[in-house]
Amino acid sequence: MITISLCMIVKDEEKILKRCLDSVADLCDEIIIVDTGSSDGTKEIARQYTDRIYDFQWVDDFSAARNYAFSRATQEYIYSADADEVLDAENRQRFRVLKEAMLPEIEIVQMKYGNQMQFDTVYNFDEEYRPKLFKRLREFVWTEPIHETVRLDPVVYDSDIVITHLPESSHAGRDLAAFHRHISNGYRLPRRLHNMYARELLMAGGPGELARAAAFFQQSAADPGRGAEEMVEACCVAARAARVNDDMAAFLKYTSKVLAVGACSEICCELGSYYEAAGDFEEAALWFYNAVYETQPVLQLSCGGKTGLEGLIRCYQSMGCQEQAEEYRRELKRRVTA
């Protein structure tokens, strides 16, 4: 049986920390809590479970805090958890079985992160794999019988454990503010974070947040160092920001840049919303149709489904075409219940 260090970074989590620790504490061999500046009773609750509690001065860097927590671990594996996560009885048993039967060559265990779309969280999928359990000390192994080399890729196991995500509120506002601070300080977002920033803005950004991010994504759309996918992502955000803020010249510029290389569902929905607001419901319906049936989403999956279909329903209702509106209403119901 392997041994496990539970590592958490927390701040002002007194309402939910006990719920999390009750579900996982007895599955781990040590508990390490790193507090980044709580002003409530978080540390008092943590002391009911462990004396391994450390203060970490927040430097606006989640990775730095998690690395510090990991540095305090002493067991064979590290389980990284957030306070808004819970393991139910079935998945506690799965975790226990995994702990007892873990193969020593496995270096990372992925677990399904579930319930993501129930609490206004910024995700396209209700359930997706995330790395959660990590081997603390990696063993390097030579491979191949000839031209031998050291295996650098980790051995990853996709488990059947599902972690229930139960946040008190959406983290989107906090995350968007953090993105803005980092880019304002000159940080160049790597590919993954560029995608996440664009996705969070489309799914949860308000007019103010879109306006604040517009200049960054306009620059990104013209950046020769960005790839084609990043250019499309940037144009989707820039077009949304322009439409919301009534900058029609910019709106046409960034929708056209995407249409020139191949449309996506997000841009089609933007054009549909533009023509709908202008009262041209026939043209709007054409673009909403393209969003659902002729293109694919690149950031926000709902643009190729729910959002586009709702646009079609509104347009045909406005045109007095109730039969077609009802057809798309049935289609929307089929997709929601599928």
Task: State the Cα–Cα distance between residues 47 and 20, nearest whole angstrom.
Answer: 14
Whether 138 and 35 share a structural domain:
yes
CATH assignment at residue 37: 3.90.550.10
Residue with tokens 């139910």, as numbered in its chain: 88
Collapse the DSSP code of 50 into the 3-class scheme (helix H, G, I; strand E, B; otherwise coil) and give the result.
Answer: coil
Query: Which residue range(s) make up the domain with 304?
Result: 172-337
At residue 116, the pLDDT reads 52
Instruction: Tally the domains of the chain.
Output: 2
What is the DSSP track for 6-42?
EEEEESS-TTTHHHHHHHHGGGSSEEEEEES---SSH
At residue 118, the pLDDT reads 56
Whether 176 and 282 share a structural domain:
yes
Of 150, 165, 180, the domain-final residue: 165
Whether 23 and 78 share a structural domain:
yes
Per-residue pLDDT of the chain (338 residues; tens, 9 = 90+): 999 999 999 999 999 999 999 999 999 999 999 999 999 999 999 999 999 999 999 999 999 999 999 999 999 999 999 999 999 999 999 999 999 999 999 999 999 988 655 544 455 555 788 999 999 998 887 777 666 688 888 999 999 999 998 887 666 778 899 999 999 999 999 999 999 999 999 998 999 999 999 999 999 999 999 999 999 999 999 999 999 999 999 999 999 999 999 999 999 999 999 999 999 999 999 999 999 999 999 999 999 999 999 999 999 999 999 999 999 999 999 987 76
Of 128, 144, 165, the domain-final residue: 165
Whether 178 and 226 share a structural domain:
yes
Whether 98 and 214 share a structural domain:
no
Spatial neighbors of 169 by CB under 8 A, at least 6 apart, are 119, 120
- Two structure tokens written together for 54: 């450390």
At residue 152, the pLDDT reads 84
CA distances from 145 to 25, 142, 149, 150, 171 (A): 44, 9, 9, 12, 49
Whether 191 and 121 share a structural domain:
no
Task: State the Cα–Cα distance between residues 331 and 320, nearest whole angstrom.
Answer: 19
Whether 137 and 211 share a structural domain:
no
What is the DSSP track for 282-306?
HHHHHHHHIIIII---SS-GGGGTH
Query: For the whole model, what pTM was predicted?
Result: 0.78
Of 148, 165, 182, the domain-final residue: 165
Whether 209 and 333 share a structural domain:
yes
Collapse the DSSP code of 153 into the 3-class scheme (helix H, G, I; strand E, B; otherwise coil) and give the result.
Answer: coil
Whether 50 and 147 share a structural domain:
yes
Residue 159 gets the label, from left (phi > 0), alpha (psi -120 to 50) or beta, of beta
Whether 319 and 245 share a structural domain:
yes
Kindly report the backbone phi and psi dihedral angles of residue 196, in degrees, each rounded to the nearest multiple of 5, phi listed first: -70, -40
Kindly report the backbone phi and psi dihedral angles of residue 134, in degrees, each rounded to the nearest multiple of 5, phi listed first: -125, 135
